[in-house]
A and B are shown apart, each in its own frame.
Chain A
Amino acid sequence: MVPILEVSGVVKRFGGIAAVNGVSLRLEPGRIYGLIGPNGSGKTTLFNCITGVEACDEGAVCFRGHRIDGLRPHRIFHLGVGRTFQTIRVFPELTALENLLVVTSGAFAPASERARELLRFVKLERLAGEFAGNLSYGQQKLVEFARVLMTDPELILLDEPAAGVNRTLLGELLDAVRNLRDRGKTVLLVEHDMKVVMGLCETVFVLDNGEKLAEGPPGLIQSDERVIEAYFGR
């Protein structure tokens, strides 16, 4: 089977430092993957390389068998790769509803209907007309989550989706991620909350110092000595 995403030997340097140093990943469609690692291990940079926000210095990124490295981010998005950001990037002076509407094209009425439906799902329908910048951190995170679902992408990259989201809503959010998987979508998520990673992901990649340290099912990863060492020191 053609992998939905294949990252091969990607290198990204900032000055003399290699933030991502020869990382390779292979994602099969219809599964949930986790990407973990200590702060500064290159997780967000790798996301940026996949989505075209940063240009890779070396290596290749293939989406459904086609090279996407070197394409501009909007092209990659339209091929079916959606993402959220670790540091929230809603459009603050657009309303919550407009934040969702703006990413769609085509007929207005169905787009508006879908946007309202998604806002209802993240329990923000009463704040639809509020400027996104006036919402709380967790609420903005939810707007971003709803926004990436607007266009129904095949591959969804979530950068710390659980951070700052209240616990009752978190359960539903995770159910939504599982539901995406059940509909054949692929999810790659960066998350620090180990309970979330272990409960959700089928395969976990561990990054450390820009390199892939380990890869495997969450149970094995948790007891891997190299991983424990990277996280807690020797």
Chain B
Amino acid sequence: MRRWFPPVLVAALALLSVYPLVATGYGIRVMLQLFMWIALAQSWNLISGLTGYVSFGHVAFFGMGAYTAAILITRTGWPWPAACLAGGITAMAFALLVGWPCLRLKGPYFAIAMLGMNEVLRVAASYFEGLTGGGSGLSLPTMHTSVPIYYGMGLVAVLVTALTYLIITSRFGLRLMTIREDEVAAEAMGIDTLRYKLYAFGLSAVAPGIVGGLAARDQGYIEPISVFPLTTTITMIVMALFGGKGTIWGPVLGATLLFGVQEVVWAKFIYLHQLLFGAIIVAVVLLMPRGILGVLQQRYGLPRTI
């Protein structure tokens, strides 16, 4: 694995970076959405896969980034890359603010608090019409091509995966995992658990904020229900769980498989697709709670750096 993996990875990244030269507009759009899902699932993995604190409102950071970027672009004329970065920073700042009280809640209470946070943001986006356009949404200037967004999304997916690699192979990552393993023991062994949870939560909000901005730029129109949907949170959770939470490549694998199947097969059966998605959630939780890589890891004694 160690010998063949790096060259394969480099080759795959090289192919993806020249793909827009030969791709159709549809192909570009499919791939940029895949990159978006990888970035989202991987970000959720940073807080929930490593510390065990299940964020059930992670789409809130996506929506926050989308609105921040859209407002900066339409009202102040910022160039979109800067506006999307600002979306990531705003999402992180907001995560630190909300995390300070909420990360003291344990287990399901934290999950529910995050769910509530997302609903509050969605309602706030509808309410402050002067800034957000309220229920009628915000329209952005049209783009001629999605290629820059393709590279933007791809870059975020690569960077958040690289960040995951750095964290999981460091003592910082080990400390995050002790919170998942036994928070009381972690505290008693000198680990400032609240501070580490805040770091992880802040980091996990950056990429959703950026891709939220990129998605807004790409779609050209946002409204509260389109950028704060609960289904987006659930999808990123299922992707990370399916691939293997707490690993480096699990969320990438889960996002690729589920998004791929969705695009190829399920798009033809709209309602069946949701049914199948629900069935996969149940199957994963019952049969492989550790996901694909988690099962392989256990069976073959692989390190968690897969």
Which residues of chain A have a CB within 8 Å of any CB of chain B?
Answer: 51-53, 72-74, 77-78, 82-83, 85, 89-94, 98, 101-105, 108, 147-148, 151
Contact = CB atoms under 8 A, between A and B. Distances in A.
Contact of A85 (B185, B190, B304): B185
B187 A53 contact: yes
Nearest to A129: B303
19 contacts: A53-B187, A73-B184, A73-B187, A73-B188, A74-B188, A77-B187, A77-B189, A85-B185, A91-B177, A91-B178, A91-B182, A91-B186, A93-B181, A93-B304, A101-B171, A103-B191, A108-B171, A147-B189, A148-B189
A94 B177 contact: yes
Given A94-B174, A98-B174, A74 B192 contact: yes
Given A74-B190, A77-B189, A102-B178, A53 B184 contact: yes
A230 B181 CA distance: 38
A82 B180 CA distance: 21
Contacts of B186: 91
Contacts of B180: 93
Interface residues of B, number: 19
A102 B184 contact: no
B297 to A, nearest CB: 10
B58 interface: no
Contacts, number: 67
A53 B185 CA distance: 9
B161 interface: no
Most buried by B among A91, A94, A102, A105: A102
Interface string B242-274: 000000000000000000000000000000000
Q: Secondary structure at chain A's binding surface: helix, strand, loop or mixed?
A: loop
B187 A72 contact: yes
B188 A78 contact: no
A83 B174 contact: no
A92 B182 CA distance: 9
Contacts of A85: 185, 188
B185 A91 contact: yes
A206 B62 CA distance: 58
A94 B171 CA distance: 11
B182 A89 contact: yes
Interface string B159-175: 00000000000010011
B181 A91 contact: yes
B193 interface: yes
A151 B186 CA distance: 14
Most buried by B among A52, A77, A83, A92: A77
B187 A74 contact: yes
B188 A94 contact: no
B38 to A, nearest CB: 24
Contacts of A102: 171, 174-175, 178, 189, 191
A74 B174 contact: no
Contacts of B175: 102
Interface string B66-97: 00000000000000000000000000000000
Most buried by A among B177, B185, B187, B304: B185
Nearest to A103: B189
A124 B175 CA distance: 22
A78 B182 CA distance: 19
A203 B189 CA distance: 27
A74 B181 contact: no
